[in-house]
Amino acid sequence: MTSFLAARYHRCGRPGEVLEVDQVTVAPPRKHEVTVGMFCAPINPADLNVIEGKYGEARDLPDVPGSEGCGRVVAVGASVDGAWVGRKVLVDGQAWRESGNWPLDRVVAVPDGLAADHAAVLRVNPPTAWLLLHQFAALQPGDWVLQNAATSAVGRAVIEIAHQRGWKTLNVVRRAAAAEELRALGADAVVVDDEDMGAAAKDVLGGAAPRLALNAIGGVSATRLAGLLTSGGTLVTYGAMSKEALKIPNGFLIFRDLIFRGFWLTRWLRAAPPDQVSSLFDQVLRLAASGCFTPRVVAEFPLAEVAAAVARAEEGGGKVLLRIGG
């Protein structure tokens, strides 16, 4: 057994109040495991929700948070090819730690040319964006995709992927000042999420009838987005930033037959065959190597300052990174 530092919470609550930095022991890797020494890990909104006990499913406590991160394999179990030692990898879960063991089928090899702080943000948001765009509608070149929360990490990834694939994006934001930054990523149109959004969006669409809308906010924002869809179109909800329930007018169902779906990457990864998972990450890493999905890092903190790091992450404005090892 070897001892390492890890951020843990022993009860759910406000992240800055319940997180502790503990000494934890790491055993040698079991037969199908690898031991990874962590370089860095981002703090995602979902990580904070997990610590609060408000996301997805309950965790066994104490728990090490961190839905993704990047590190290097330092040891392998008996049935794992020794060539994995020294490889840079993405880990799936419990990433806010100096070192830990993960099953081999839950790590993803990172191309040598990709920096660790870039790779560390590729496990959650870009795969979510890729699947939102590919699982719910058979999009053709020139088709429009609608989305709110366009400045979020998923929203930005949607713009970059759609631009690469020849699809147009109409992006709904809270502040008009965000438009220039999103257009630089490849956004085709940006409108403000207010009472005039529907009219502004229709002017942009010019009669086009989008079949896919992506919702991460809920409430009236989602209703406005769904109102722009063609009959039989699909609104996919993958987040609930407003903490307001979906409000679906009866006419959306009766007269327009709109489809309302939900998406959670964790559920998809658990159900998908290994070859589909591998193909997903191959696509994401290929796009990352071409320059997509570069994180907007606004602050970095050492693991020992995790309470300050989550406080900064709660302020928003970009990605906060835990810088763990070298």
> Which tokens go with 305?
């300052």
Determine phi and psi for 12, rounding to 5 degrees.
-80, 150
Angle between helices 153-165 and 274-289 (to 10 degrees): 90
Residue with tokens 């890729």: 130
CA–CA dist 122, 211 (Å, integer):
27
CA atoms within 13 A on the CB side of 210: 26
> Which tokens go with 40?
């860095």
CA atoms within 13 A on the CB side of 214: 33
CA–CA dist 224, 119 (Å, integer):
35
Contact (Cβ atoms closer than 8 angstroms) between residue 97 and residue 24: yes
Distance of CA 70 to the CA centre of its chain: 15
Determine phi and psi for 83, rounding to 5 degrees.
-65, -15
Contact (Cβ atoms closer than 8 angstroms) between residue 154 and residue 167: no
Is 55 known to be catalytic?
A: yes
Side chain identity, residue 37: G
Neighbours of 153 (CB within 10 A): 22
Q: Kindly name the residue from 55, 263, 264, 268 that is annotated as catalytic.
A: 55
- Residue ranges in 103-254 assigned as alpha helix (H): 116-119, 125-135, 153-165, 179-185, 197-205, 219-226, 250-254
DSSP states of 264-284 as a string?
A: -HHHHHHHS-HHHHHHHHHHH
Active site residues: 55
